Amino acid sequence: MKTLSLPTFFPDATYASIHSLPFHDVAEKLEGIVVTTLHMQLIGITELLLKINNEGSNLDINYRSLANLRDDMVILSDSGGFQVLSLIHKHKLGKVTEEGAIFKLPDSPKKKHLLTPELSQDIQHAIGSDIRVVLDVPLMGNEDRKTTTEAMERTTRWAARAKEQYNKHTANNKGEVVSTPHSLSFSRPLLCAVVQGGNDPELRKESGAQLSAIGFDLYGFGGWPLDEKGFFNTKIAEAFVNSLPAGSITYGMGVGTPDDIAISHKIGMTIFDCVIPTRNARHGSLFVTKGNGEKAGETFDLVRIGAQRYETDLSPIDKDCDCPVCKNYTRAYLRFLQKKKNPVGYTLASLHNVWWYMNFVKSLR
């Protein structure tokens, strides 16, 4: 039985590790991580696991034991659906058919990677993740109604196929799921559907209805969470939550800034993941407690550590943060490492941001 206190935030470990940040550095704070199926498939970690287990005659090594992750830490595997948006729709590196998503990547131009809803489940099962996501067709939100409707309805069909495959994997894995607004306990892998419908509240409502009619353990807020101006799309987020039966467990996929998480939680979402704390750390944006940095949002300030004003600043990044970076290093040193593009700087910055995010989300409970 695993239990998550809600709300919770999972840093993204897309390529089987949190970018620039060893798991053990944040182990005590980590409640879960998000790995991505497509990249897992492409770098062949499922093949590696198979090889290790075959050579060792049923060692039963899975991703968790290989990466030495705590038993109670939740592994959420993404389906590869977001890459349909970022690679296929945005960068035209493939196409989507009814069968699945076909990725044609520059590193292997002659090879087509077909990711079906079933294969995505197979990979997620091989990884041994605790929360699995159905392959979906996300859009940016500015497409016409016809395109949005088709993507939404295909997402529903794919979700049904994914559930069928998931059932094959977990047929004998009976277990209970207990959820309240403040906690989620489960003793079997969970399956998450993804609500689409773009920026159209009616289509969001329809998507939620179609998916909940099939029945899933939890539901993701799919698509692109921002509006045309780059602000968090609160109206559509509300349409998403309202499209589901009361008490549904909701997952804000790729949400977001601390402000976005706070508002999403207020609306009713409880599970979050985002690349912001790690990516922005590498790019020099460090999250700090309100009042301890440059004014940025309603719930947080920023220290853009590369800025000249921190060149000789001997104070910690955030005097109210209890992370190892704030307890041991100065802004001046962090700035120096950042400006020199020193990988250790990226690691320390990521450690701070992830730690700070975990504290922030905990403060919403």
Question: Which residues lie near RNA (CB under 7 A)?
Answer: 12, 14-15, 18-20, 34, 36, 39, 78-79, 81-83, 85-87, 91, 93, 105-106, 133, 136, 138, 194, 220, 222-226, 230-232, 253-257, 260, 273-276, 278-280, 282-285, 294, 304, 306-309, 311, 339, 341, 343, 346
CA atoms within 13 A on the CB side of 26: 31
Cβ-based nearer residue to RNA, 106 or 247: 106
CA-nearest of 105, 102, 219 to 159 is 219
Instruction: CB nearer to RNA: give 21 or 49.
Output: 21
Q: Find the shortest distance in angstroms from Cβ 301 to RNA.
A: 12
Structure tokens at 269: 């979402």
CB of 189 to RNA, least distance (A): 16
Q: Which is nearer to RNA, 86 or 187 (CB)?
A: 86
Locate all alpha helices (DSSP H) within 89-231, ordered by sequence.
117-127, 145-169, 201-214
List active site positions: 78, 273
Residue 261, Cβ neighbours under 10 Å: how many?
24
* 135, 162 Cβ separation under 8 angstroms: yes
Token pair recorded at residue 147: 């395109």
- Quick check: bond before 256 cis, omega within 30? yes
Integer Cα distance of 87 and 251 in angstroms: 23
CA distance 269 to 168: 29
Q: How far is the CB of 165 from RNA (least distance, A)?
A: 15
Residue 139 · residue 147 · CB < 8 Å: yes
The residue (of 224 and 329) whose beta carbon lies closer to RNA is 224
| C-alpha to C-alpha distances, 33 to 46, 194, 268, nearest whole angstrom | 17, 18, 21
Report, in Å, the least distance between residue 346 CB and RNA: 6
CB-nearer residue toward RNA: 186 or 232: 232
Whole-angstrom Cα distance, residue 42 to residue 40?
6
CB of 69 to RNA, least distance (A): 17
**CB distance 271 to 252 below 8 Å:** yes
